[in-house]
Amino acid sequence: MLEGKPVTAGVVSYIPDSTKGNSSRFNPISAIGADGTYTLNTDGHAGAPPGWYKVMLQDGTDAKAKLPAIKADYKDAAKTPLSVEVKAGGSYDLDLQK
């Protein structure tokens, strides 16, 4: 969500947060759908292993998949302020700022 509206383009990546005990070697990733939802996939399988992740956003591969104007920090795994603990059966909303 950005200013109360769904972000409808781009790619979301969950980067394992080793500082919080997540030593996974896989990065769950998903394209963001036209309705603002996303479904993570990890190494070809649906979902993400439990644990803490830093959340990073990127532009998609074509012109229609560009992110709106958001803070540059969201595009950098080392700087992103977004963090999520994945638990079984969880659903995660992300609130972004310009």
The candidate with the shortest Cα–Cα distance to 7, out of 29, 28, 27, 36, is: 36
- In a domain, residue 39? The reply is yes
Interatomic CA distance for residues 27 and 15, integer angstroms: 5
Three-state DSSP class for residue 17: coil
Tokens, residue 57: 């956003």
- In a domain, residue 81? The reply is yes
- In a domain, residue 97? The reply is no
- In a domain, residue 33? The reply is yes
Residue numbers of the domain that contains 82: 11-86
Task: Give per-residue pLDDT as tens, 3-28.
Answer: 889 999 999 999 999 999 999 999 99
Looking at the structure of the chain, the number of domains it has is: 1
Three-state DSSP class for residue 83: strand
- In a domain, residue 4? The reply is no
Task: Give per-residue pLDDT as tens, 31-83.
Answer: 999 999 999 999 999 999 999 999 999 998 887 788 888 999 999 999 999 99
Interatomic CA distance for residues 87 and 98, integer angstroms: 28
Max Cα–Cα distance, the chain, nearest Å: 37
- In a domain, residue 57? The reply is yes
What confidence score (pLDDT) does residue 97 get?
Answer: 86
pTM for the predicted model, two decimal places: 0.91
- In a domain, residue 93? The reply is no
The candidate with the shortest Cα–Cα distance to 71, out of 63, 84, 80, is: 80
- In a domain, residue 1? The reply is no
Residue 44 is which amino acid? Answer: G
Three-state DSSP class for residue 80: coil
